[in-house]
Each structure stands twice: as structure tokens, then as C-alpha cells.
Amino acid sequence: MSKGRVTVIDIAHAADVSKSTVSLVLQGSPLVNEATRAKVNAVIRELGYVYNRGAANLRQAKSKIVGIVVNDLTNSFFAELAVGVDMVVQSAGYVQFLSNTGESIDRQREVVASMREHGISGLIVSPARGTDAADFKPLTNAGIPVVIVVRNIPGAKVSSLVSDNFAGASAAVEHLVGLGHRRISFMGGFANTAVFAERLGGYRDALAKAGITFDDELVVATAPSRAGGVEAVGRAMLLADKPTAAVCFNDAVAFGVCDGLRARRLEPGVDFAVVGFDDVIEAESAVPALTTISVDPQGMGRRAAQLLLKQINSGKVEAEAIVSAVRLVVRQSSGLALDTTARRAVS
């Protein structure tokens, strides 16, 4: 405990919460649950803390800072996205504050609150799973422009920039069907996200157009990570009627699927066709090079930053919804046309 004036840090230590949570309580934010609010307020009274609103207002004044919050920085897609954002905001005289939530809504609320304390001029966010439209209300009420990327949040009343997930997954299936595959799995991704639903929808639609009956056993939901890809292919290979190809939720899953295949002495692009989604930098240099749906992560970052700066400069928070086109990039991991006489049996 400091011996002089009581600080927010003192309160956070005494209440066993984060500094950002204390700040949310002081701001009267609805994002803090009542039990935590009561505990923090009790400590404030006990320590005799006096909130200096004038100083707080100075801290919250707009700066040349743009916040970017992503849900999984371990996925190189988001690193590339952040690079794209930085290219644009830096040239416009802004600096970027980057934070990773690891899919934690509580962490997301804390970092956004902390960024607000530093007076961010705007926010770009790929929301954590379970994020609600109400989470963005304090920002819009304060006139802070927000651009949601990758995952849209219905009813959030902020700008959004997402990929054409339906069309991308459809193109991946059409490519595999064209190579002769009929048992095509959809691997990876959290089933309770809009992106998963959109990509699965494109997968199902393309199967139907090809006259292939949808089999829910071939949909293997796992974490959208390399480890999730290993798990997904492992589960798929337990099926009596095994798949011969996979449309993967993203490139990270696709790399994991390739790892899992090799662990079973199967070669991606030879014994089993793999298609990813994102086209991260590693996709082209992977062995085999990854066939994938190109989203252009850096390009998406640049476009999100341009959209945000447009709103910052206009002084208006007018929501725009943009769906970016995607394209199929064919490389070695999807293999050649299926030749059942030349291929080893998938086992």
C-alpha cells in the first residue's frame, strides 16, 4: 500500500481485481458485475479514495493512439492483420496499441477500458467468443469509432469488415469435387461462432450443388489452431468411411491436419487433399505448399485502418458493413485429380 495518496493501483490490490476493473467501476460502466462492483466500492470507501474526475477527463482526451484488440495472436493471421493496420495508421501519424484477449471476454473488457484511459481515438477489434453488442455501447456512447474485423456482432451498431466466408468455403469444396473427391470433411473451428456457421454453410451448399449428401460425421469442430487440426484429422480417421479430403476452418488448422496426416504416414497432397482458409505468409512456403482461400490478412488490416481513420477524421461514428471478396489459391496440398488406383488407402 502506498503511504501517500491512495491510487487506483492500491484499490486494485486491496480488492484483488485488475486496475482496469477499478477504472470501469469508477466510470460507472455496466460491464462490471454487481458483486465485483460492490467489493471495489467497499474498498474505495475503506481507503478513502477520491476520484479526480478532472484528471480523468484529461487522460481520456483523444490522442493519436489507435487500439487494436485481437482474439488469438498465436494465429499468424492476426499478426499479419496488425501489420496491415500499422502500415496505415503510422503513415497517418498514429501509433497502435495492440492487445491479445486469448478468447477471454473479461480480458477484452479490461484491455478496452485501459485503452480508453489512454485516450484512444478509435478501436479495431476481432471480438472474443461470446462478445455481445452491449460490450460496444460505452464506446459508441463516448463517440469512439469502432471497426469490428473477422467476426461480426449483430446489433453492435459499429462498422464491420469481414471476409466472404460462405463463398470461400464453397470454392474450396468445388475445387475438391473437381479433383474427384466425394468424402470431404470440414475440419476445425469453434461451432458457436458466426464465422464457423458461414463457412460451414458454404461447405454444405457446395456439396448439395455437387449432388453429395451432407454427412454431419464429417464436420469435426475443434479449436481453430494447429493443435486443433491434429485433433480433427485424428477424429476423422476413426470413421468407418473415412474422408479423402478436408476443407479446413483456417490455415492454422490446415497445417495441423498435415501434421496429423504425416503422423499416420500419409502425405498431404498425395494421400489426402487439404485446403486451408486465410492464405497466411507461411502457406506458400509450407511443404507441401498450402492450397487455401486467400483473405489477404494484411490487406484486411489496411482496409480496416482506412475505415477507422475515415470515421476519426470525419468526427462521425457512422456504421459501415463491408464483406471482402476472397479467392482460391491452388497449390500442392490439394494434390492432383483423384486416382484411386494410384493412391494408398487412407487408414
What pLDDT is stored for residue 346 in this prediction? 35
Domain 8-57 fold: 434 Repressor (Amino-terminal Domain) (1.10.260)
DSSP letter for each residue of 58-107: HHTS--SEEEEEES-TTSHHHHHHHHHHHHHHHHTT-EEEEEE-TT-HHH
Query: Domain limits of the chain?
Result: 8-57, 61-163+297-325, 165-295+329-334
The pLDDT value recorded for residue 172 is 98
Integer Rg of the chain from CA: 23
Task: Judge residue 211's burial from the number of C-beta atoms within 10 Å of its C-beta, 0-12 exposed, 13-18 middle, 19 or more buried.
Answer: exposed
**Structure confidence at residue 45 (pLDDT):** 82
Phi-psi region of 140 (alpha: psi -120 to 50; beta: other; left: phi over 0): alpha
pLDDT at 50: 67
Span 295-327, pLDDT tens digits: 999 999 999 999 999 999 887 777 899 999 999
* Domain with residues 61-163+297-325, CATH architecture: 3-Layer(aba) Sandwich (3.40)
Q: Which pLDDT score, from 0 to 100, does residue 69 have?
A: 97
Decide if 61-163+297-325 and 165-295+329-334 have a common fold. Answer: yes
State the pLDDT at residue 55: 54
Q: Where are the beta strands (DSSP E) in the chain?
A: 65-70, 95-100, 122-125, 146-149, 159-163, 184-187, 219-220, 245-248, 273-278, 291-294, 321-324, 327-329
Instruction: Identify the CATH class of 165-295+329-334.
Output: alpha beta
Q: What is this structure's pTM?
A: 0.79
47 CB neighbour count, 10 Å cutoff? 15
pLDDT lower than 70: segments of the chain: 1-4, 50-62, 337-347
Q: What is the pLDDT of residue 272?
A: 98
